[in-house]
Amino acid sequence: MLTTSTEDYLWFVDLALDSMVSILVRLGDVDANRRPALDGANSSYAVVTHCLGVMEYWGGHVVAGRRIERDRDAEFRAEGAVAELQERVAGARRQLHADLATLDPQAAPRGHVNPDDAELPFGTSQGGVLLHILEELFQHLGHMELARDMLLAEQPGRADGPGRGLTG
């Protein structure tokens, strides 16, 4: 079986979060809160807010067993200043590090898992939950990269233009 350390795992989480924050900063307050011109698209601000909800629910509740309150629908309506969201990302990062202190990758999740997910890897083991968190973070980072490129392309005079790769 493949094993990795919690530190290795958190390095990848940090990579995704750092890349997301870089996109937010590059877009600035106005564009970070703007939705690309696609049906159903979300703003980068909302996507990051949702990712913090993913980390809190899956890492805090399902892995660590903490009781949490989450309004998933509100995550996608979130708006605000990039600097405030950067602070929330830093806090969520610290909390996830703390939540994984008692991680047992082979053990069953400590928190409630939806019955529809009970037989899936993230329903059967804490390690599976961690992979699900990482899956969500990088999937949504890709959404943000596309949104950033679309929003910047709408502004032909903008000097920084679309980005490339994980470094945003």
Provide the CATH number for the domain around residue 21.
1.20.120.450
The reply to whether 164 falls in a domain is: no
Divide the 168 residues of the chain into consecutive groups of 10 and give the mean pLDDT of each group. 81 98 98 95 98 98 96 97 98 97 94 88 92 97 97 77 52
**Model pLDDT, residue 119:** 87
d(CA 79, CA 43): 8
Q: Which of 41, 30, 47, 16 is nearest to 81 (CA)?
A: 30
Is 159 a domain residue? no
Q: Does any domain span residue 166?
A: no
User: Whole-model pTM?
Assistant: 0.90
Look at residue 165 and tell me if it is in a domain. Answer: no
What pLDDT is stored for residue 136 in this prediction? 98
Q: Work out how many domains the chain is built from and give that number.
A: 1
Is residue 107 one of the residues assigned to a domain? yes
State residue 121's pLDDT score.
84
State residue 4's pLDDT score.
75
- Residue 133, class by beta-carbon neighbours within 10 Å (0-12 exposed, 13-18 middle, 19+ buried)? buried
Alpha helices in 33-125 (DSSP H): 44-54, 72-75, 82-99, 121-124
At residue 160, the pLDDT reads 59
Asked if residue 122 belongs to a domain, the reply is yes
User: Does 79 reside within a domain?
Assistant: yes
Domain that holds residue 141: 6-153
